[in-house]
Amino acid sequence: METALDIQHCISQIPRADYSGSPISFSIGRGEIVSIIGPDYNGKSEWLRTFAGLIRPASGKVISGEISTDCENRAQWEQLRRKLAFVSSETALLSASNGLANVILAASYHQLGDNDDLRDRATELMTQLHVQFQADALPAFMRRDQRYRLALARALMLEPEVLMLDNPFAHTDAAGTGKLKQFLLKRVDEHATALVIMSHDLEFSLKYAQQILFVTREQVYCFKGASEFLGSQVESIRQYIEKPGLH
């Protein structure tokens, strides 16, 4: 399996004062799903941002191809931002531009097609993501879940090798969550996109993730799939698995 991202002896910078564990090392392959789970307020989002290159590691390296996320070369940084996509509920949209213009923006900047091609691709992505709004609607007049899907569509217009999502199911109802899961799984299957997802949805992690990262302040534990994770005898993991409402 081709490696999409290589994490080498890494510690995330923001939780460093609280994190007392060892550095972590693992690789993410193309078309692989990696799930980041664990108790609240233990730094899961910060680790995800570190993998995406948005936070410089306190130690170690995150490498995509031959480019490290701490590179200072502009051309390499632009290439990295195309390869590693990060979307959260805080991902900003242009407030004065409509939904379609927002989705096209990044791909247009990187000159990934002419206007007609980008418009067609953006429209197709929004259809697949079930984004529904008036053509001239501005982000302020859209639901939160619609804004999230626009940000996701914009990221996918760059055809990234790794898609990193921070709690993507938090703002959708059951039907919307089901459709989003189906879309993401299809994307992984058809485009060999690696998916790194921070989620409280343990069922999704156990069913689909090839790797599971369990994040605590004391240690980040890396597991090769559900069987290895469920077989762990670490007390914090046992408590997490048995916590009501996670299944």
Contact (CB, 8 A) for 219 and 22: yes
Q: What's the chain's average pLDDT?
A: 91
| Mean pLDDT for the stretch of residues 40-62 | 92
129-140 per-position pLDDT tens digit:
988 777 678 888
Neighbours of 150 (CB within 10 A): 26
Highest mean pLDDT among 61-65, 75-79, 169-173: 61-65
Q: Where are the domains of the chain?
A: 3-91+160-241
| Mean pLDDT for the stretch of residues 136-150 | 88
pLDDT interval class at 41 (50, 70, 90): confident
Q: Does residue 27 surpass a pLDDT of 70? A: yes
| Mean pLDDT for the stretch of residues 72-89 | 88
Q: Does residue 75 surpass a pLDDT of 90? A: no
pLDDT value at position 14? 65
Dihedral sign, CA of 174, 92, 94, 182?
negative
| Mean pLDDT for the stretch of residues 3-14 | 90
Q: What percent of the chain has pLDDT over 70?
A: 96
Contact (CB, 8 A) for 34 and 213: yes
Q: What percent of the chain has pLDDT over 90?
A: 68
CA distance 61 to 66: 11
What distances in angstroms separate CA 16 from CA 22, 196, 213, 214, 219, one per listed residue? 11, 21, 17, 16, 11
pLDDT value at position 244? 61
pLDDT value at position 159? 95
| Mean pLDDT for the stretch of residues 46-70 | 90
Does residue 90 come out as left (phi exceeding 0), alpha (psi in the -120 to 50 range) or beta? alpha
* Residue of 224 and 144 predicted with greater confidence: 224
Q: Does residue 15 surpass a pLDDT of 70? A: no
pLDDT value at position 81? 85
CATH of region 3-91+160-241, choose from 3.40.140.10, 3.30.390.50, 3.40.50.300, 3.40.109.10: 3.40.50.300
pLDDT interval class at 246 (50, 70, 90): low
CA distance 73 to 88: 26
For the whole model, what pTM was predicted? 0.92
